[in-house]
């Protein structure tokens, strides 16, 4: 393991309750911060300055995602709804109603015309962006949905659940194509496709992250060393295109980086004593945003030097 070169650059404050998710816009200019205080806040990704906020949900936010063109944002809330926001005007364009319990995760497809959302009602809803209505309901799991993601071309949806299963769905038909099983089935805390669409990362609350080959549905790597026994933590690929590393938040207050090929830990960066819940990597710069379950409710920007 090499000595860390990540340096704490900015601390972003103003949140009244713990931060649930941090997401950089794909244009690289903005950082969206979703919080349990029901407010979505936007910060400048370069200097950490507060830019604007979006309010309208009745309960806390669990997730946020950007449209590929960085013009729109989608928020998922404990008030059972999602909202689509215009970043420039600050207006709520649509409120998506259809879930019967907390909406925990959301993602928009590359074409920006379909949203997938996962809920504590154990379903994944597939939404038409233009109409703001559900296209179909995927009776996905037997416990709350903890993760959803689209493959690079938008043709497949990956879902993960606290029931310990991950499933691959055909976006167009809603058909379940595959269920991923590997030994025991601890709750899934994160699930996502690789940037090249050939692999999937699935994290579970037994402190393991597995790299699955999409074509064979087999585990090809297992990443260990971090702590994940309780919370749903952010897991990402360290390279947007090549996916040469895997990064994860950890309940020991650090974020970890593994080499994809060897599955060895490259770096472990302590951030404090509290569980680290969310992290995201800037799309073009060596900058990472992190948020922890801590009293100050701050977000930290780390620069690699």
pLDDT, residue 241, reads: 47
What the chain holds in terms of domains, given with CATH numbers, is 6-304 (2.130.10.10)
Reported as type and span, the H/E element at residue 218 is strand 218-224
Backbone dihedral angles phi then psi of residue 194, each to the nearest 5 degrees: -75, 160
How far lies 36's CA from each of 55, 98, 198, 285, in Å? 12, 21, 34, 28
Residues 109 and 126: beta-carbon distance below 8 Å: no
**Portion of the chain with pLDDT greater than 90, in percent:** 91
Q: What is the spatial distance between Cα 49 and Cα 278, in angstroms, rounded to a whole number?
A: 19
pLDDT digits (tens, 9 = 90+) for 16-37: 999 999 999 999 999 999 999 9
pLDDT digits (tens, 9 = 90+) for 249-261: 999 999 999 999 9
* Structural tokens at position 300: 């930290």
Cα within 13 Å of Cα(21), Cβ side: 29
CB neighbourhood size of 221 (10 A): 18
pLDDT digits (tens, 9 = 90+) for 190-204: 999 999 999 999 999
pLDDT, residue 4, reads: 66
pLDDT, residue 156, reads: 98
**What is the pTM (predicted TM-score) of this model?**
0.95
pLDDT digits (tens, 9 = 90+) for 214-248: 999 999 999 999 999 999 999 999 865 445 899 99
pLDDT digits (tens, 9 = 90+) for 162-179: 999 999 999 999 999 999
122: left (phi over 0), alpha (psi -120 to 50) or beta: left
């Amino acid at each position: 393991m090499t000595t860390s070169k990540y340096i704490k650059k900015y601390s972003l404050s103003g949140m009244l309750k713990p931060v649930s998710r941090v997401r950089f816009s794909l244009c690289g200019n903005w950082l969206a911060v979703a919080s349990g205080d029901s407010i979505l806040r936007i910060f400048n990704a370069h200097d950490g300055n507060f830019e604007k906020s979006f309010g309208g949900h009745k309960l806390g936010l669990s997730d946020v995602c950007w449209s590929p063109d960085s013009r729109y944002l989608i928020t998922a809330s404990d008030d059972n709804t999602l909202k689509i926001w215009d970043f420039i005007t600050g207006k709520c364009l649509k409120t998506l109603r259809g879930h019967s319990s907390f909406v925990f995760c959301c993602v928009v497809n590359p074409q920006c015309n379909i949203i997938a959302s996962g809920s504590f009602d154990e379903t994944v809803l597939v939404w038409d962006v233009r109409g703001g209505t559900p296209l179909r309901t995927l009776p996905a799991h037997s416990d709350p949905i903890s993760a959803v993601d689209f493959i690079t071309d938008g043709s497949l949806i990956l879902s993960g659940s606290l029931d310990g299963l991950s499933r691959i769905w055909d976006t167009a038909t809603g058909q379940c194509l595959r269920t991923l099983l590997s030994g025991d089935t601890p709750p899934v805390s994160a699930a996502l496709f690789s940037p090249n669409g050939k692999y999937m990362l699935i994290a579970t609350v037994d402190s393991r992250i597995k790299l699955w080959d999409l074509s064979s549905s087999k585990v090809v790597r297992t990443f260990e060393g971090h702590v994940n026994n309780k919370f749903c933590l952010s897991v990402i690929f360290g390279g947007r295109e090549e996916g040469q590393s895997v990064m994860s938040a950890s309940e020991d207050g650090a974020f970890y980086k593994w080499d994809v090929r060897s599955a060895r830990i490259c770096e472990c960066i302590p951030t404090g004593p509290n569980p680290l819940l969310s992290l995201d990597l800037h799309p073009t710069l060596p900058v990472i945003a992190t948020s922890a379950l801590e009293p100050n409710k701050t977000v930290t920007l780390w620069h690699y030097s």
